[in-house]
Amino acid sequence: MKKSMKKGLAILLLLLTGTLLFAEGQSESKDMSLNESAAQAKYVFLFIGDGMAMPQISAAEAYLSAKEGNAANQKLLNFSTFPAQGMTTTYAYDRFITGSAAAATAMATGQKTAIGVISMDPGKTESYKTLAEMAKEDGKKVGIISSVDLDHATPAAFYAHQPSRNNYYQIGVEAVSSDVDYFGGGRFRLGKTPEGEKNIHELMAEAGWTIAEDRDSINAIQAGTEKVYCSNHGFADDALPYDIDREADDVSLAEFTQKGIELLDNEDGFFMMVESGKIDWACHANDGASSIMDTLAFAESIETAIQFYNEHPEETLIVVTGDHETGGLTLGFAGTGYETDFANISSQTKSYEYFDKFVLTHYLEAGSSDLEGLMADIEKYFGLTELNDYEAELLEKAYIRTVAGDEAVSNATEDKLLYGGYTPLTMQLTHIQNNRSGMAWTSYKHTAVPVATFAVGAGEEMFHGYYDNTDIFTKIKAAMGM
């Protein structure tokens, strides 16, 4: 009898508790159907490290760890600790090794396209709608930020539709009338203006954009200002300088991102794409130190988003990914075997490009003709001293080749493998510098290894697993409830 009473009570409790449980479940699913956005990502950051795959991330982490005397990877980048993580395949419609245009199109529109095409179909007739355009239609503000030229393939794929990534002027023209509320980072290429046409800055001014080109002017722009274009550029071109070369006046990618948050923050939410474009450029040139420093600068720009996320954790989604690997970077070199020395990376003080433009060119122009006279600068900029015989031989060969130009090419195939079309001496210097640290490269182009994707916030759970770059679009779109 007692037992059956207990059983009855248990059933009653079950009924009551069951109802509560069920009610909870029901109210949750109700909330979701009634007011989808409440459970969805209102503020979305998509961070794209151009040329950044696991080797680039691990190299930066190894450097941080080694600086503190630890075995790597004991120091992780902020985004490496995000709760969701996946691997992402990158192949293009027509090539296994993708390019930035096809990869950005995949992430912006969910469609595979041909190499070089910007958010159009492989046949180059149909335009694909982008995440940024959808977000705008959904009432959100849109920001496009890049450390390289804003008409470069990766940013372009979010607001333009062109049969070729090289249509820089047309891409800029699309930018002027685009749905974008804030452009930040490198400049549109004014040098690509066709004869007789107004350049993109003139067109933007005419269309009412607020333009700022230095830190003070950028800082002076108030929240609430609409249609803002903030840019800055380095010594070499329209892109921001490599972070390793950045000086006090140069506005950082983190600052451009922070400004974007200030300008775009509104109750209807925003979609912001932030590209770190020079990780790719550094890796094309096999310059490991510059790649690492730009990866760390990328993490700093992500930090501004993390701070925003901390204030709006339920409504913010941050996704960090790469578009492809560049350079065939690995963390191990035949010459150093099982040993690495990532702390050695600190001994490089400027990028390959700075050395090329401000050191080597001047030295050669001054009529100097022996490598010996450059050794103090080689130590100053690459930290290279005590060259062994093999290193000395490689440098001498590269120097002769540099001074004599193509006449010194004894074997064109070997020349391509050794220097990849870059200044031979400078390439040899980055190779020796990297190899001593345990970093090595197999290419001067992109490679096909999948990239890593990390996510935190509303919808993060979708970013686990092994998926394709077109799924980045699908997942973000779903997270935004579009």
The residue range among 124-132, 137-145, 196-204, 414-422 that interacts with a second copy, by the rule CB under 8 A, is: 414-422
For the chain, the residue count is 482
CB-based burial label for 75 (10 Å; 0-12, 13-18, 19+): middle
Binding string, residues 44-63; x marks residues near a second copy by CB under 8 A: ----------xx--x---x-
AA letter at 309: Y
The residue range among 19-27, 159-167, 217-225, 287-295 that interacts with a second copy, by the rule CB under 8 A, is: 19-27
450 lies in the site for a second copy, by CB under 8 A: yes
Of 5, 338, 366, 407, which one interacts with a second copy (CB under 8 A)? Answer: 338
Question: For 147, phi and psi rounded to 5 degrees?
Answer: -80, -10
413 lies in the site for a second copy, by CB under 8 A: yes
Distance in angstroms (rounded) separating the CA atoms of residues 124 and 388: 53
Of 41, 92, 142, 479, which one interacts with a second copy (CB under 8 A)? Answer: 92
Of 325, 353, 356, 471, which one interacts with a second copy (CB under 8 A)? Answer: 325
Record the tokens describing residue 120, joined without a space.
């159009």
Of 141, 233, 446, 475, which one interacts with a second copy (CB under 8 A)? Answer: 446
Of 132, 109, 137, the C-alpha closest to 121 is 109
Instruction: Give the residue ranges of DSSP H helices in 312-388.
Output: 352-354, 361-365, 375-382
AA letter at 191: G
Binding string, residues 386-405; x marks residues near a second copy by CB under 8 A: --xxx--x------------
Of 449, 470, 478, 482, which one interacts with a second copy (CB under 8 A)? Answer: 449
To a second copy, the closest distance from the beta carbon of 454 in angstroms equals 8
Q: What are 118's strand-pairing partners? A: 162
Give residues 108-127 in contact with a second copy (rule: CB under 8 A): 115
67 lies in the site for a second copy, by CB under 8 A: no
Q: CA angle 390-396-401, nearest 5°?
A: 130
- Beta pairing, strands 43-49 & 270-276: parallel
Binding string, residues 273-312; x marks residues near a second copy by CB under 8 A: ----------------------------------------
Distance in angstroms (rounded) separating the CA atoms of residues 424 and 444: 13
Spacing of C-alpha 411 from chain mean position: 35
The residue range among 35-43, 206-214, 268-276, 446-454 that interacts with a second copy, by the rule CB under 8 A, is: 446-454
AA letter at 195: E
Distance in angstroms (rounded) separating the CA atoms of residues 307 and 123: 42
Taking the least distance from each CB to a second copy, the nearer of 26 and 177 is 26
Report whether 193 contacts 169 (CB < 8 A).
yes
AA letter at 66: A
Of 190, 403, 448, 478, which one interacts with a second copy (CB under 8 A)? Answer: 448
Report whether 232 contacts 240 (CB < 8 A).
yes
The residue range among 82-90, 144-152, 156-164, 355-363 that interacts with a second copy, by the rule CB under 8 A, is: 82-90
Taking the least distance from each CB to a second copy, the nearer of 67 and 227 is 67
To a second copy, the closest distance from the beta carbon of 447 in angstroms equals 3
To a second copy, the closest distance from the beta carbon of 469 in angstroms equals 11
Binding string, residues 350-389; x marks residues near a second copy by CB under 8 A: --------------------------------------xx
Cis peptide before 166 (omega within 30 of 0): no
Of 36, 68, 96, 123, which one interacts with a second copy (CB under 8 A)? Answer: 96
Residue whose entry in the numeric block shows the structure tokens 């001054």 = 366
